[in-house]
Amino acid sequence: MPRLRTREERLMGAAVLQASAEHRVGDEAEAFCIIYRDVLADLEVTDEEVSAFRAAHRYEVEARVRRGGPP
């Protein structure tokens, strides 16, 4: 059975996805929004929580986006 992610790990993953979505345009942006909403539901976090986490961990989130996401 896979290891359960901590709340912080779930928020980091969603924050990286949220930041990545900002660079999408057109149909790709629409698809990312759908995926993002589903990810939030799966991770049991809200967009507001993700935004707050992202603001508090801005540099770490940006670094992970540049590397291609969370490990």
User: Tens-digit pLDDT profile for the chain (71 aa)?
Assistant: 778 899 999 999 999 999 988 877 788 888 888 899 999 999 999 999 999 999 999 999 999 988 875 55
Domain count of the fold of the chain: 1
Note whether residue 32 is domain-resident.
Answer: yes
Instruction: Determine the structural domain holding residue 38 and report its residue range.
Output: 7-67
Note whether residue 1 is domain-resident.
Answer: no
Note whether residue 11 is domain-resident.
Answer: yes
> Which two tokens mark 15?
């924050």
**pLDDT at res. 25:** 76
**pLDDT at res. 59:** 96
As to burial, measured by CB atoms within 10 angstroms (0-12 exposed, 13-18 middle, 19+ buried), residue 56 is exposed
CA dist 41 to 36, 44, 46, 49, Å? 9, 5, 8, 12
